[in-house]
A and B are shown apart, each in its own frame.
Chain A
Amino acid sequence: DVKVTQSSRYLVKRTGEKVFLECVQDMDHENMFWYRQDPGLGLRLIYFSYDVKMKEKGDIPEGYSVSREKKERFSLILESASTNQTSMYLCASSEAPSNQPQHFGDGTRLSIL
């Protein structure tokens, strides 16, 4: 079974802090994704990556950046956390090509105070 592991299940940070969310997958998948999930809005794509050191903006990249230095790891960075970034963050991975089913981690519930 594919395993997508997110570093924290719950995280509380303060406004203005730099926040790192880590995601690791163990199936040698080429593609990795970061979403946020908010009530009534569904999952919205923040960034995705189709290869090491490559990244592409999703629908809501503002206030975020990503890093993919190794194939198995995809990090989401909140450069200066704000209260409107309080959300559930979900990481996913999939095989190439890009239309393959995505496998999700359990999510990180991030609260910015």
Chain B
Amino acid sequence: GQNIDQPTEMTATEGAIVQINCTYQTSGFNGLFWYQQHAGEAPTFLSYNVLDGLEEKGRFSSFLSRSKGYSYLLLKELQMKDSASYLCAVFSGSARQLTFGSGTQLTVLP
């Protein structure tokens, strides 16, 4: 089975940096996704890590350590529009499906 943990809520200030952590315990791990979901909208894909290390994409970066069952999403130069829920999801190749964490609600304050 899959167990994915991420903080329920986080608050940060506009212009700052925030790190959202995700830990997982899974069988058959084959990669980790991060999605962003604004209130009332569809989740949108942010990043995919399959190997250890840091993947950078503009203001957003995602890190994976498979040995520690740990990932984080790093958001730099926070903007008000970054206020959203951030979903961590683990892909199991054996089950051929994604399992999502409960999401972290990020609030960016002026």
Where the two chains meet, the residues of A that have a C-beta atom closer than 8 Å to any C-beta of B are: 4, 33, 35, 40-45, 48, 50, 56, 58-59, 90, 98-99, 101-107
Contacts and interface: CB of A to CB of B under 8 A. Distances in A.
Interface in B39-92: 41-45, 48, 50, 87, 89, 91
Given A41-B102, A101-B33, A90 B42 contact: yes
A102 B96 contact: no
B87 A42 contact: yes
Nearest to A40: B102
Contacts, number: 49
Given A48-B96, A98-B91, A98-B97, 6 more contacts: A40-B102, A41-B102, A45-B97, A48-B97, A102-B98, A105-B42
Interface in B16-39: 30-31, 33
Interface residues of B, number: 22
B5 to A, nearest CB: 11
B107 interface: no
B30 A99 contact: yes
B90 to A, nearest CB: 11
6 contacts: A40-B102, A42-B102, A43-B43, A56-B96, A58-B97, A101-B48
Across chains A and B, which 7 residue pairs bring their CB atoms closest together, nearest first?
A104-B42, A101-B45, A42-B102, A43-B100, A98-B96, A42-B100, A104-B43
Contacts of A56: 96
A104 B44 contact: yes
